[in-house]
């Protein structure tokens, strides 16, 4: 379903390549397990059922996990009004609107497609942002829905669970004490564990790289739709600054959902740890928005 959000061929290519590489990785992984004598079919069926549930119920699962509840236009008229305007600009169906009772200033989008999407903002974000800043954040989140990267991330992130699930199944099946051969080779359980760790590490890095790029793509698409990149930059700066005032306990509770959030609850500094980050560094996002502002100025 096409919208007026700026298309991003770089994001599309990365989503296709990531899903292809993850699929190839897991085909090889299952092949190794079968070669080692593991009955992988049972595990794949279980994983398939779990993936089916997560994909089709991702919106409900995310809202439940983050404490969000859907709100009507009567309950949140200003929030609904901003989303109505943005959806009209973007020529896209209006998603469901939700609010999470949390002082952590953030927002997220979830849902497998535009018709099943939901946009959720926290009470902390609503209290802290001006209307134009909030509009910039909402445009950013709506672009995730328009680009369909929400569904891709849901599938890609789930595949990391499969490695752990298969490892547990193999170890519980009693393969840990068996050797590869009569010459005292490595125990099969240890081989499976090492291969699973490798598969998980590669899939983790692939999904994190995609996650960082999709945030930059959403910043650009949202800024171009509203024609106010400075408002989104202001929201980013304000949200990142306000995070420092939130109790660490609350930030750690929100950290597992960083990949969904507009801004990470806890972020790493400028170091090697950025390889594992769900979002690009704040300064990089601000620099990109400044470039967009200059482009619009010309």
What are the beta bridge partners of residue 108?
A: 120, 261
Cβ within 8 Å of residue 260, ≥6 positions away: 62, 66, 108, 109, 110
Helices and strands (H, E) in the chain, number of each type: 11, 4
Is 141 considered catalytic here?
A: yes
Distance between CA atoms of 276 and 268, rounded to whole angstroms? 9
If you ran DSSP here, which 8-state letter would residue 6 be given?
Answer: P
Distance between CA atoms of 295 and 298, rounded to whole angstroms? 5
Catalytic option among 141, 215, 255, 295:
141
Cα–Cα nearest to 162, from 3, 27, 16: 27
Distance between CA atoms of 137 and 98, rounded to whole angstroms? 14
Is residue 209 within 8 A of residue 142, CB to CB? The reply is no
Cβ within 8 Å of residue 88, ≥6 positions away: none
Q: What is the DSSP string of 57-109?
A: THHHHHHHHTTEEE--TTT-HHHHHHHHHHHHHHT-PPPEEEEE--SS--EEE
Residues tagged active-site: 141
């Amino acid at each position: 379903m096409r919208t007026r959000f700026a298309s991003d061929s770089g994001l599309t290519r990365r989503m296709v390549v990531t899903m292809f590489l993850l699929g190839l990785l897991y085909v090889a992984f299952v092949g190794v397990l079968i070669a080692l004598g593991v009955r992988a079919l049972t595990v794949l069926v279980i994983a398939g059922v779990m993936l089916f549930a997560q994909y089709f119920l991702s919106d409900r699962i995310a809202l439940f996990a983050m404490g969000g509840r859907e709100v009507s236009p009567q309950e949140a008229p200003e929030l609904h009004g901003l989303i109505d305007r943005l959806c009209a600009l973007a020529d896209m169906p209006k998603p469901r609107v939700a609010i999470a009772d949390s002082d952590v200033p953030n927002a997220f989008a979830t849902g497998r497609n535009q018709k099943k999407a939901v946009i959720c903002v926290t009470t902390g974000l609503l209290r802290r942002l001006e209307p134009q800043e909030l509009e910039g954040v909402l445009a950013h989140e709506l672009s995730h829905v328009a680009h369909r990267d929400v569904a891709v991330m849901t599938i890609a992130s789930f595949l990391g669970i499969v490695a752990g699930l298969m490892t547990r199944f193999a170890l519980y099946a009693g393969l840990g004490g068996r050797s590869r051969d009569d010459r005292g080779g490595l125990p099969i359980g240890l081989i499976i564990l090492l291969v699973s760790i490798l598969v998980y590490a590669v899939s983790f890095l692939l999904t994190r790289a995609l996650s960082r790029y999709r945030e930059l793509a959403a910043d650009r698409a949202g800024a171009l739709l509203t024609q106010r990149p400075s408002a989104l930059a202001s929201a980013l700066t304000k949200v990142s600054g306000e995070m420092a005032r939130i109790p660490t306990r609350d930030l750690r509770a929100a950290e597992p959902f960083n990949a969904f959030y507009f801004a990470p609850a806890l972020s790493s500094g400028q170091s090697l740890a950025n390889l594992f980050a769900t979002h690009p560094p704040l300064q990089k996002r601000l620099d990109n928005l400044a470039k967009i502002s200059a482009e619009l100025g010309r």
